[in-house]
Amino acid sequence: MRILLLNPNTTEAITQRLLAAAEAVAALGTEIVPVTAPRGVPYISGRAEAQIGGAIALEMLAEHHDKVDAAVIAAFGDPGLMAARELFDIPVVGMAEAAMLTACMLGRRFAIVTFARALGPWYQECVEMHGLTGRCAGIRMLDEGFSDIAEVQEEKEAVIVQLAQRAVVEDEADVVILAGAPLAGLAAKVAQRIPVPVVDQMGAALKQAEALVSLKPRKASAGTFRRPAPKGTLGLASALAARIEHR
């Protein structure tokens, strides 16, 4: 099976991190197709950037959806996820969603640990969007600058581990999620220093995408995720316009 790894950020180095984390757990026969956003911001870190990045994710899916069996939107706040699930026929998995649902099977409440304060409110709203507020023990954010988004996981590894340890002791988290695309792959490196299961967001998303492909769900032709009826568009990217117009 072919799974689209859609990075809605413009930073190619993050795509490479995500790809490595995905390949580390991929099943035999899974081909991962990475794409990096051709426009947008280097890394999404708030509501405005997620609004824009989610729209760009739809443009990217319009270009690629018919060549893959499923897609992962590989930014932690799941920009454009529900929109994508409505507009396209293939399963689409959000990286935050997959990490959180996976964490639910490993404990009662999960903590989200991330590398920048700006990400917290966006992640919080993502937790709420998925209806998982009651399963979330809290969001812990690093409150200091970093040098390079592509290397932030190496630079901040020690303090991120400390945040995770505090989440276990102070927030009574049963599971830890290391959140934010630039942290993809970090879980494996630090798991033994954190006394509860640590979920890698990209690993979880890849396995969930594989699971959905295996289960072969049909596209809804009723309910709130059926494809919208054709509608005219003005000034949209051409593949996206074609999808909306049913051309």
CB nearer its own copies, residue 34 or residue 120: 120
> How many of the chain's residues bind its own copies (CB under 8 A)?
93
Q: Could you say which residues in the range 113-172 bind its own copies, by CB under 8 A?
A: 118, 120-121, 125, 128-132, 134-135, 168-169, 172
Q: CB of residue 140 vs its own copies: minimum separation in angstroms?
A: 13
Determine contact, residues 112/174, Cβ cutoff 8 Å.
no
Site for its own copies in 172-191 (CB under 8 A): 172-175, 191
Nearest residue to 219 via CA among 65, 97, 2, 96: 65
**For residues 191-220, which are near its own copies according to CB under 8 A?**
191-192, 195-200, 203-204, 207-208, 210-212, 214-215, 217-220
Q: What whole-number distance in Å separates Cα of residue 205 and Cα of residue 100?
A: 10
Closer by beta carbon to its own copies, 85 or else 156? 85
Q: Are residues 96 and 132 in contact, defined by beta-carbon separation less than 8 angstroms? A: no
Find the binding residues for its own copies in span 10-49 (CB under 8 A).
10, 25, 27-29, 38-42, 45-49
Site residues (CB under 8 A) for its own copies, limited to 218-237? 218-226, 228-229, 231-236
Output the CA–CA distances (angstroms, integers) from residue 139 to 104, 105, 240, in the order listed: 15, 19, 35
The Cα–Cα gap between 110 and 130 comes to 14
Q: Does residue 240 belong to the site contacting its own copies (CB under 8 A)?
A: yes
Minimal distance in Å, beta carbon 67 to its own copies?
A: 20
Residues in contact with 166: Cβ distance below 8 Å, sequence separation at least 6, in sequence order: 140
Backbone angles phi, psi at 32, to 5 degrees: -100, 130
Q: Which stretch binds its own copies (CB under 8 A): 12-20, 80-88, 154-162, 178-186?
A: 80-88
Residue ranges with strand state E in 120-181: 136-141, 175-178
Give min distance, CB of 77 to its own copies, in A.
Answer: 12
The Cα 142–Cα 145 span in angstroms is: 9
- Chain residues 81-100 in contact with its own copies, contact rule CB under 8 A: 82-87, 91, 93, 97-98
The one-letter code for the residue type at 107 is G
Q: How far is the CB of 82 from its own copies (least distance, A)?
A: 5
Pick from 16, 55, 150, 189 the residue near its own copies by CB under 8 A. Answer: 55
Q: Which of 142, 17, 126, 11 is nearest to 76 (CA)?
A: 126
